[in-house]
Amino acid sequence: MEKRKLGNSGLEVSALGLGCMGMSFAYGPAPDKKEMVNLIHSAIEKGITFFDTAEVYGPFTNEELVGEALAPFRKQVVIATKFGFKEEGEGRWSGLDSRPEHIRTVAEASLKRLKTDVIDLFYQHRVDPNVPIEDVAGTVKDLISEGKVKHFGLSEAGAQTIRRAHAVQPVTALQSEYSLWHRKPEEEIMPVLEELGIGFVPFSPLGRGFLTGKMDETTQFDKNDFRNSLPRFDAENRKANLAVVELLHNIAAQKNATPVQIALAWLLSQKPWIVPIPGTTKLHRLEENIGSVNIELTADDLHRIDAAVSGITIHGSRYTEAGEKMAGR
């Protein structure tokens, strides 16, 4: 598979990564662990070298899964995980905690669960308004000097926060939501990333499954699926947002591709330092995602897509009000 470098950091990864959250968290009952280990191994065989997890996914079980699956291939892969939430116990989390001592505690626990002696990319999961970002960056800088972390990342951070953090410890990558139905990062964030030489890792590049074209307003989610709580996924908003999916279907038909592949190829075409991390629990979806790397969108294709999307209003917020407050600080 094609390789890409995340900004000026020199961190080289496969053009597509694999988001592992859904293998144990968020979208209903967790799949069989052995099957997910096999899926991760298949991803490696097909050229994926970049794997994304976090302590809160599960909680903890996702890091354990990723650690077990990647242990035999540790030198071939890049593991990204995250800190920054406050644990209440019994799988419950209450707010944010990026105090330096907490970051260190999380790092030590993640290293054990991931069965490794170094975290390749350590993201602050959400910006903590109660802890200066300089203190966060400084703590990760210390972890890097101690050999426990290689690279520092931020997630859903605003432009000024990125600048302040980068001044203390160079930020290798920003992970934020970016797709054809959430293009807000183009306004302020991407120019800053380009200026500072920071890579961009879009999560939910397929709109949490909506851009696959496999759901509509009648789709029923499992009772434990977190999309039940997202305004953008209520039935009326899904119905209104099908206009984006129809556009993808039309482009895909012309390119002998699938809507999924067009959505990912569009992201890959935006900047050479963008590495999407679509998640999946199914081998055929993994293969479909990987196929996007070989889809070539011409300048005319991209212009037509941009023109069409600019005429579509996306209905519904990405998160609940509380979730929106955590994004873009």
Give the pLDDT score at 92: 74
Question: CB pairs under 8 A, 24+ apart, for 232-235?
Answer: 232/314, 232/315, 232/316, 232/317, 232/318, 233/208, 233/316, 234/316
Could you give the angle at the alpha carbon of 230 between the alpha carbons of 227 and 235, nearest 5°? 80
Give the pLDDT score at 63: 98
Four-way CATH pick for 3-206+270-294: 3.40.50.2300, 3.20.20.100, 3.40.1260.10, 3.90.180.10: 3.20.20.100
Exposed, middle or buried: residue 157 (CB in 10 Å: 0-12, 13-18, 19+)?
buried
Ordered by start, the domain boundaries in the chain are: 3-206+270-294
For β-strands 171-177 and 12-14, DSSP reports them as unpaired
Give the pLDDT score at 284: 98
Please say whether the beta carbons of 281 and 5 come within 8 A.
no
Please say whether the beta carbons of 78 and 47 come within 8 A.
no
Please say whether the beta carbons of 243 and 310 come within 8 A.
no
Residue 157 tokens read as 């951070």
Of 57, 123, 178, 319, catalytic: 57
**Chain CA centroid to CA 93, Å:** 20
Q: Give the Cβ contact number of residue 240 at 10 Å.
A: 16
Closest CA to 18 of 229, 294, 289: 289
Rounded CA separation 274/200 (Å): 5
Rounded CA separation 89/59 (Å): 10
Give the pLDDT score at 291: 98
Which residues neighbour 145 within 8 Å (Cβ) at sequence distance 6 or greater?
none
Please say whether the beta carbons of 125 and 155 come within 8 A.
yes
How far is the CA of 284 from the CAs of 13, 38, 280, in angstroms?
22, 13, 9
Closest CA to 18 of 6, 10, 41, 35: 41
Give the pLDDT score at 90: 67
**Residue 236 one-letter amino acid:** E
In 235-282, alpha helices (H): 235-255, 259-270
For the question of residue 57 being annotated catalytic, the response is yes
- HSE (CB half, 13 Å, CA atoms) of 283? 10
For β-strands 85-89 and 92-96, DSSP reports them as antiparallel
Q: What are phi and psi of 121, to 5 degrees?
A: -140, 120
Give the pLDDT score at 323: 87
Rounded CA separation 156/218 (Å): 31
pLDDT, averaged per 10 consecutive residues of the chain (329 residues), comes to: 97 98 94 98 98 96 98 98 88 88 98 98 98 98 98 98 98 98 96 98 98 96 95 97 96 96 98 98 98 96 94 94 85
